[in-house]
Structure formats: C-alpha cells, structure tokens
Amino acid sequence: MELKKINDNCYYMSSAVNIGYIVKDNTGMLIDTGIDDSSIKKAVKLLSEENLPLNYCFITHAHTDHFGGASYLKKKGIRLCAPKVEKAIMENPLLEPLYLWNGAFPLKELRNKFLEGKPVEVDEFCSPGNMEIGPFHLEILHLPGHSIGQAGVLFNDILFAADAYFGREALEKHIVPFIADAQQTIETLERLKSLPYEGAIPGHGEFEREVKSTLEANISVHKELMDLVLEIVEQNEGKLSFDNLLKKFLDENHIQSGSIGQYLLYRTTFTAYITKLTSDGLVKTVIEDNQILISQ
C-alpha cells in the first residue's frame, strides 16, 4: 500500500482496493477501509507516519473489500457515514451471502471475509447532494449500478468514484465486472462522462485526469457482454434455460469459477444483464417445465 498525493487536500492509498483520503483544517476523512483489519491498520499507519489527521470515514458501498476494516475504525472512535441502503447491509452483513444464495441461509463456505464483512454500526447515513461534515463541504453522488445505493464523493474537484467504474487493468482482469443493475450501471457511467471534475480515482485502478476513455471502455464491456448473451440465445434456436445460458456465457468468456462464491458473483452480473435485456424487450424470461427459460 502506498500513499499517493493528488493535491493538497486529496490523497489515496493505492492498493488492490484503493482507500481515499481527504484533509482540511487539520481534520481527515478516509473514503473506504479496505477488506479487513490488516488493510485498515496499514492505511492508519501510513497516515500517522505523515502526521495526517483522521476523524471520519465515508464508506461508499457495502462490499467487504470496501468496508471490512470499518469495525476497527469504529473501535478507534472514528465517525462512520455511508449511504442508507449500504449502511443497512454493513450493519447486517449476512445479507450479502444471503442474497447471493437466493435469499436462503447461506452455505458455510459463502461466509468468508470476501462475501461477509464484520458487522459495524454506521453513525450516520448520507443522502445524495451537498453534505457538510466537520470542515468538509462534500458533494455526495448517487452512483447506483455496481451496488444499489453506492455513493461517490466529490471534493476539491476530485471524484472518489468507488466501483462506479474500474480502471483499465482491473476491467481486463475481471472480464465480467460485478454489477447489480445493468441499466443503472450504464446511466451512472454516462453521467460521470458529463460531470465536471479535475480527475477521478476508482476503487480498483489508478487516479486519472482524463477519465472519459476509461468510462467509455467500461460502457463497451457491458454492452459487448450483453450482445454476447443475445448471440448465444440466437445460436441456440432462440431458447435456453437460465443456467445453461449462464454456463455458455462464462465458457465463451473463458471463465472458470474457482469457488461457488465467485460463480454466484458472476451469476449476479449475468442476472443484471438478463433483467435489462428483458425490460428492453430483447429477450423473454419465462418459467416452463420448472426451468427459467430465456428466449428471443
């Protein structure tokens, strides 16, 4: 983990999952926490080595790689804030393996630090719009798609974008990036293209001043993946079971799920594509012979 300075008030700790940091009038705020105690301890150590203050933490969304270290901060007396829906999940983190496992009590192997963070009481929820907290005047942006209630932070013309988009390297690595809602993912990406800011930092990737082409690359990935779903349906006489279509979709992308958890994350993105394609009238989703069928 490395502390990188963007300007006098904005920094980030570059890692597999970035942790943002803003400072003003001897008051500091983290943006996200990394996945566990070990990652947040590294971040806190980096700040103290540079004599940088820490008072608040804003958590962008309830994925464990972004809030897993929050309970450590809470014990240290750091004030936590998060978007409303995401706050509810952080306070009840069983919800993530539960929803991945179709709403049933999850398998033991799904209850790991990648899918279920330590529960943490968040001090306050934040709504989109202007937010005054300590000396900070923040603009909280509602950036749904990757998760339902994800928020980004705009401060001093720098956008902390969470997982609204992935850096190019992360985008290539993930192949099928995680999303919960395809329509909102694309709308959020389009909106970020038109907003004015000096530069942006994603949850996974590096800070960029010119972020437009990275945003476009993200949009293209989702559009191409949805086109692939349509192509597979066409090639199979216009009708496939949901599970069979998902298998063919992963095979076509040369993805081998290494665990049930990973498979379920891919399935969520795939389901988000099916929802969008169905509501756009490009496929039909019906139940037949006790199978969900996707047809033209």
In DSSP terms, 239 is beta-bridged to 295
* Cα distance between residue 162 and residue 274, in whole Å: 24
Can you tell me which of 23, 163, 180, 182 binds Zn ion, judged by CB under 5 A?
163
Q: How far is the CB of 66 from Zn ion (least distance, A)?
A: 6
Q: How far is the CB of 163 from Zn ion (least distance, A)?
A: 4
Range 226-265, binding Zn ion (CB under 5 A): none
96 touches Zn ion by CB under 5 A = no
Q: How far is the CB of 157 from Zn ion (least distance, A)?
A: 24
Can you tell me which of 21, 39, 63, 141 binds Zn ion, judged by CB under 5 A?
63
Give the distance, in angstroms, between the CA of residue 236 and the centroid of all CA atoms in the same chain: 33
204 touches Zn ion by CB under 5 A = no
74 touches Zn ion by CB under 5 A = no
Nearer to Zn ion, 137 or 173 (CB): 173
- Mark the segment that binds Zn ion (CB under 5 A) among 159-167, 206-214, 244-252, 253-261: 159-167
Residues 6+ apart with CB under 8 A from 104: 98
Range 16-55, binding Zn ion (CB under 5 A): none
- The residue sitting closest to Zn ion, measured at its beta carbon, is 63
* Residue ranges in contact with Zn ion by CB under 5 A: 63, 163
